[in-house]
A and B are shown apart, each in its own frame.
Chain A
């Protein structure tokens, strides 16, 4: 990954997208369930507030990384999202990329000559 490849401002967005994709690896979920799972699994570190989850879901759906489907539950229509094969592949690649970025960041923060461990 070159310096030109890394978009600092887009990093937060990438993290949010990865969190959503990560929760969907365990199976299809409704939007609210995704939000709850992200919050629970991160011990409250990551939270989706004020509907910020929806633009992420709709963007991922537009890119074909997740697929939404409607179901009926107690007379109410609900939308459920599942990970697509493309999304699965994207998740693996992006996880590696974010890991690399975090490792480099830590190297900078810890200064030269200090180990990352």
Chain B
């Protein structure tokens, strides 16, 4: 007596954050089964009982909208009065500002640590791609945890994965290239290795 098709259709229609959706569907599923069992115990035929339970408990469109309003995330409630296109612009500007601040603060910290002159030339590409990864991750986190918009939860994940892997690839290539350069220098001038050629590059 599974209500899987009804619950699946409802899950697709119900635009609330995933944790709320799961709780609503779980509650509904429990009640549907319990009511069906109760009706069957009262002598109603199983199919008839199933239909009656669904008719009584499965929300129609109007009820779904009422549930959506009740489970609206706080951010959506607070920003409801702002024009959607204006809100979108404000959100984008906020995210760009946060990403720029993060990259700027990291750059400043590196500069103040006085390692910028000595570190690998791969540092800047890594930082740039890192900034992109941070911005993409921040945008997705904002969408999921602040806006509570889980309707297209997979959107953008491939891009985040791609920039993350790109960063990892640049780091790996950079380490290997730097090690190769350092090894070549030691090999070509072994006497100088004691004077800290590799350490000059790494700052150790």
Contacts and interface: CB of A to CB of B under 8 A. Distances in A.
Interface of A: 30-33, 35-36, 47-55, 58-59, 62, 73, 76-79
Given A54-B28, A77-B26, A79-B30, A32 B57 contact: yes
Interface string B47-69: 00000010111111011001100
Given A50-B63, A55-B70, A58-B70, A35 B56 contact: yes
A32 B38 contact: yes
Given A36-B38, A62-B70, A54 B30 contact: no
Nearest to B10: A51
A35 B63 CA distance: 15
A50 B58 contact: yes
Contacts, number: 72
A42 B103 CA distance: 65
A53 B31 CA distance: 11
Interface residues of B, number: 25
B33 A50 contact: no
Interface string B13-30: 000000000001011111
B66 A55 contact: yes
B70 A59 contact: yes
Q: 6 shortest A-B CB distances, which residue pairs?
A: A51-B59, A78-B30, A50-B60, A55-B66, A32-B35, A32-B31
A51 B34 contact: no
**Most A C-beta atoms less than 10 A away, residue of B30, B34, B38, B58:** B30
A104 to B, nearest CB: 29
Contact of B56 (A30, A48, A59, A62): A48
Interface string B70-100: 1100000000000000000000000000000
16 contacts: A30-B34, A31-B27, A31-B57, A32-B56, A35-B35, A50-B62, A50-B63, A52-B63, A54-B24, A54-B27, A58-B70, A76-B30, A78-B30, A78-B31, A79-B26, A79-B27
Contact of A51 (B29, B30, B63, B70): B63
Contacts of A79: 26-27, 30-31
A4 B67 CA distance: 28
A2 to B, nearest CB: 28
Given A35-B56, A76-B33, A51 B38 contact: no
Given A30-B30, A59-B70, A76-B29, A54 B63 contact: yes
